[in-house]
Amino acid sequence: MSAQVEGGTNVKLEDVTAEVRPRVPWESIDLGCALARRHMGSIMKAWALTIFPLWVLLAVVLRNHPVWFIVCTWWLKPVYDRVPMLIVSRALFGEVPSMKDVVHALPKLLSKRLWFALVVGRFSPARSLSLPVSELEGLRGVAYRQRVNLLERNGGEGATMATLVGLLLEVAVGFSMVLLVFMMVPSDISGRWWQGVTEFFQYSDVGELDAGFYWAVAVVRLLSITLMEPFYVSAGFALYINSRTLTEGWDIELAFKRLGARLEGLRNSKGLMLMAMITMSLGVMMTAPVSYAAGGETDARDLRQTQIQEVLADEDFKVHHRLVDVPVESSNRWLEDLFSRSDVSGFMGVIGSLIFYVVLAAGIVGLVYLVYRNRHVFTSGGRVLSLPNQPKTREVMGLNVSPESLPDDVVSAAREAWRAGDSQLCLSLLYRGAIASLIHRRHLPIEKGDTEGDCLRRVELMSDTPFEAYFSELTRVWVMVAYGKRQPDDGTIQQLCENWPFDQLSIERSAG
Amino acid sequence: MNEYQKPMEQADEVCSAPTHELSSGRAGSLCQQICGELGKVFFGQDHVVSQVLAALLSGGHVLLEGKPGLGKTHLVLALANTFGGQFGRIQFTPDLMPSDVTGFTLFDMKSQTFQMRRGPVFTNLLLADEINRAPAKTQAALLEVMQEQQVTIDGESIKLELPFMTLATQNPIEQEGTYPLPEAQLDRFLMKVVIDYPNQESEEQVVEQVTSVAAAKGLDARAVSQVCAQQDIIIAQQECAQIRAVPEVVRYAVNICRATREAQGISLGAGTRGAISLIQVGKAYALMNGRDFVTPDDLKSAAVPVLRHRVQLAPELAISGQRVDETIASIVNAVEAPRM
């Protein structure tokens, strides 16, 4: 007797390298992890030979779209799973495939039922358990569904938990690697990186992020997938083996095989052979009248079948089913009363299913909303040069610096105010105009709490700015007027108006 | 110093009709001379020098904090020498009595009269070393002198000679046998100046200077030249008090102090005296920069040294490793600058 495992071909159960016995799901997962550890060298070699080139190819194709690269490499995980599955499934039955075998199987691995694996099977929570059904048994359609349903009865929940735990561990491994790197680099560099990570979670600043950040995330993701995926696949494969052991009695089959092998050894010894012959003779004598009466071997077999059928038809072999209601003492009497006229368990099951689907729908809607809200990240390869709707400071030092609050022609308005003798209004217009222009045109990050000195320092920090000298002079005169209550002379005002280096704000205002 | 903080002479070139009669420019120049002289013997600590000078101009007192050997005594002695003032030093100990600080009367058997023995507070610059080592009543005697600027001995009140400034240090290491100053007493100090280690270059300069002369006395504070008289400092203090602070700037100072009281993670914020001190030090900074008016930037520069001893972090914030200076800086940055 043999079992059908890989590619629909028969494998010898007696060659299995692990103890085949019924296990609880967590024991099976443990066995899977042990298998992965034992054959990690082969798995990693095969991984490097097949998956790394695929990633390199993807990276070249999507070199300007790091976010899409991250999404694609995540989406293709079922394809990667086939590589460790090939190694582990064969290794369990004593045949570790060589790299030549892996390369030989590569076209099939990368192409077989790709649509199904990446679309229908991608979101199955028990993906690791159903993977061997499609990959090793080669079942499709209704037969696949029935087979998966059958196997999931003994390990489906274990496979789902393995998926969840695997997901968490993958994230943990990723974060651990990042923290390790953070600990290794100098604090000033890690500080800048940390700021980048913080900005990623702040929508308003995501535009500042470099594509390098996304590539770094991609590398961490790929490393964590490389470390965790072999264990996940092996755990699912072990659950699959366990489910088949429970369903098909592989352990009993193996026990019989071993018993048969032992008896085979006994038969080969001469003394025991004689004993066997006596036993057989007795058997022949007992069955001879019937056999001979039937007149042939075929008739004897038919007779045995008939006898078996008769025995099985007896009342003792009939399977009876009886449903018994077991009364359960509960403090929730009111709840029971409430549902007394209905099938409570069925009702609660429906409620549970409803809650599950509501939570699932909310999760999907939330995901879609997040993607929609951050769609700019996907449209420009993770780098946003400017955010048109980003709110900008509208007030600095109590001065309204929004373009709407200022006249079209700031310089003319300032001159008019100067002629009217209002020096503070004149300087205020020029200063507000300059600040508004720096904020809205040059994207200078001026905060509400910034003083004149802070604004000047920020302008000084701007590279290749032609405004520094002018703004410095304007700030000096403005401070004299605002805080010193001193009157500037006409020449100074004329000079400030004539040398005004900023564009008119009317365009900005109409755009904004 | 920013571009717009140029000395007043330059400002007058563009701003006609000065509306005050103070010689702020001269005071600014005097401050620069004092800073220059102190810079000869106190390397790489320019911010410490300007803060101490600002406290002197404001007529306030300073709490000095720094590890031993960073030149605290040296700084005070050198500062006294720049204006020809007297320098006194008290090492506070647990057995120090109030009369050891202020002075006492002694019956002279020969003349059959009571003779007054003036204590070490009768000086211009007083260095009160390890003030937290003395018991509360001795501390109170000194703090009263600082506040009143006069000493009462046996019912007789004697005015201290001006300028008078106390620079007190605290033992920051040992806890046993010390009497920490209560918050109300700390509030009497205008600012708390922190002296940290100088940078590599300045430290090398100190070592080179000190060891270049025999007996390692290359950095003698007494070698500092006198640039002005005591009277000039008093005039500068009077000028400092007359520096203009527009109502918006005063409101800014009050807002900063109120923000420290309302901020989360602060168990004790700065009181009204904090806002007063902010304006006083802001005026001193304005004078030192040759201006006759205070700008918000003056207050922002003064905020950390003026408020750091008046603000106490809540335990949860202190445990998280947050420092008072960082907290004050973030509070000040969050306060809206004056509305003009």
Q: Do B16 and A489 touch (CB under 8 A)?
A: yes
Is A448 in CB contact (< 8 Å) with chain B? Answer: yes
So what's the pLDDT on residue A281?
57
Q: Do B17 and A487 touch (CB under 8 A)?
A: yes
So what's the pLDDT on residue B256?
92
Distance (Å, rounded) from C-alpha A453 to C-alpha A475?
A: 8
Between B166 and A11, residue with greater pLDDT: B166
B15, B332, B340 ranked by CB distance to A480: nearest: B15
Is A27 in CB contact (< 8 Å) with chain B? Answer: no
Rounded mean pLDDT, B291-300: 90
So what's the pLDDT on residue A400?
63
Q: Other C-beta atoms within 10 Å of B222: how many?
A: 11
pLDDT band per the 50, 70, 90 thresholds, residue B10: very low
Type of residue numbered B217: K
CA of A159 to nearest chain B CA: how many angstroms apart? 42
The SS3 call for residue A152 is helix
pLDDT at A512 over 80: no
* pLDDT tens-digit readout, A377-402: 555 444 433 333 444 555 555 566 56
pLDDT band per the 50, 70, 90 thresholds, residue B258: very high
Task: Locate the chain A residue with the closest alpha carbon to B293.
Answer: A484
A447, A449, A472 ranked by CB distance to B4: nearest: A472
Task: Locate the chain A residue with the closest alpha carbon to B7.
Answer: A476
pLDDT at B25 over 80: no
Is A461 in CB contact (< 8 Å) with chain B? Answer: no
B3, B18, B19 ranked by CB distance to A472: nearest: B3
* pLDDT tens-digit readout, A449-469: 788 888 888 888 876 667 788
Is A387 in CB contact (< 8 Å) with chain B? Answer: no
A398, A472, A477 ranked by CB distance to B339: nearest: A398
Q: pTM for the complete prediction?
A: 0.51
Q: Do B11 and A447 touch (CB under 8 A)?
A: no
Asked if residue A86 lies in contact with residue A46, where contact means CB atoms within 8 angstroms, the answer is yes
Percent residues over pLDDT 70 in chain A: 75
Is A419 in CB contact (< 8 Å) with chain B? Answer: no
Both structure tokens of A477: 């005169």
DSSP per-residue string spanning A438-451: HHHTS-----TT--
B chain contacts of residue A475, beta-carbon cutoff 8 Å:
2-4
- Give the CA distances from residue A132 to residues A38, A98, A108, B324, in Å, rounded to whole numbers and listed in that order: 20, 20, 15, 61
Q: Do B2 and A457 touch (CB under 8 A)?
A: yes
Q: Which residues pair with B191 in a beta bridge?
A: B62
Percent residues over pLDDT 70 in chain B: 87
So what's the pLDDT on residue A332?
60
Q: Do A482 and B340 touch (CB under 8 A)?
A: yes
Q: Do A492 and B14 touch (CB under 8 A)?
A: yes
Is A227 in CB contact (< 8 Å) with chain B? Answer: no
B5, B18, B338 ranked by CB distance to A398: nearest: B338
CA of A188 to nearest chain B CA: how many angstroms apart? 17
* pLDDT tens-digit readout, A111-122: 777 878 888 778
Of A417-426, B3-12, B250-259, B307-316, the least confident: B3-12
pLDDT at A6 over 60: no
pLDDT at B282 over 90: yes
Mean of all residue pLDDT scores within chain A: 77
Domain boundaries, chain B: 19-242, 243-340
A chain contacts of residue B340, beta-carbon cutoff 8 Å:
397-399, 424, 428, 482
Percent residues over pLDDT 90 in chain B: 12
Q: Do A484 and B291 touch (CB under 8 A)?
A: yes
Q: Other C-beta atoms within 10 Å of B232: how many?
A: 17
Is A421 in CB contact (< 8 Å) with chain B? Answer: no
So what's the pLDDT on residue A148?
84
The SS3 call for residue B339 is coil
CA of A414 to nearest chain B CA: how many angstroms apart? 17
Type of residue numbered A218: A
Q: Do A456 and B11 touch (CB under 8 A)?
A: no
Q: Do A451 and B296 touch (CB under 8 A)?
A: yes
* pLDDT tens-digit readout, A79-99: 888 889 888 888 888 788 888
Of B1, B19, B279, B295, which to mutate for an interface test with A (greatest number of A Cβ within 10 Å)? B295
Distance (Å, rounded) from C-alpha B146 to C-alpha B125?
A: 11
Is A187 in CB contact (< 8 Å) with chain B? Answer: no
Q: Do A475 and B4 touch (CB under 8 A)?
A: yes
B11, B297, B339 ranked by CB distance to A453: nearest: B297
Of A262-271, A329-338, B36-45, the least confident: A329-338
Task: Locate the chain B residue with the closest alpha carbon to A492.
Answer: B14
Is A373 in CB contact (< 8 Å) with chain B? Answer: no
CA of A171 to nearest chain B CA: how many angstroms apart? 26
- CATH architecture group of domain B243-340: Orthogonal Bundle (1.10)
CA of B105 to nearest chain A CA: how many angstroms apart? 51
Could you give the strand order of the β-sheet that contains B125-129, starting from the edge strand earlier in sequence? Answer: B87-91, B125-129, B165-169, B62-66, B191-195
Type of residue numbered A332: N
Domain boundaries, chain A: 3-253, 395-511
Between A336 and B281, residue with greater pLDDT: B281
Pairing outcome for strands B156-159 and B150-153: antiparallel
Between A442 and B136, residue with greater pLDDT: B136
Task: Locate the chain B residue with the closest alpha carbon to A395.
Answer: B336
What number is the ipTM of this complex? 0.72
* pLDDT tens-digit readout, A309-354: 888 888 777 777 888 877 666 556 665 565 555 555 566 667 777 8
B2, B6, B246 ranked by CB distance to A453: nearest: B2
CATH superfamily of B19-242: P-loop containing nucleotide triphosphate hydrolases (3.40.50.300)
A chain contacts of residue B334, beta-carbon cutoff 8 Å:
449
pLDDT at B281 over 90: yes
User: Closest Cα partner for A492 from A440, A413, A418, A388?
Assistant: A418
Q: Do A398 and B292 touch (CB under 8 A)?
A: no
B2, B291, B334 ranked by CB distance to A456: nearest: B2
Q: Do A397 and B340 touch (CB under 8 A)?
A: yes
* pLDDT tens-digit readout, A32-90: 999 899 889 999 999 998 889 999 999 999 888 888 899 899 888 888 888 898 888 88
The SS3 call for residue B176 is coil
How many CB pairs below 8 A link A and B? Answer: 108
Q: Do A477 and B15 touch (CB under 8 A)?
A: yes
B chain contacts of residue A450, beta-carbon cutoff 8 Å:
337
Mean of all residue pLDDT scores within chain B: 80
So what's the pLDDT on residue B250?
92
pLDDT at A7 over 80: no
Distance from the first to the final alpha carbon of chain B: 23
Q: Do B340 and A457 touch (CB under 8 A)?
A: no
DSSP per-residue string spanning A106-147: HHHHHHTTHHIIIIISTT-TTHHHHHHHHHTS---HHHHHHH
Rounded mean pLDDT, A201-206: 58
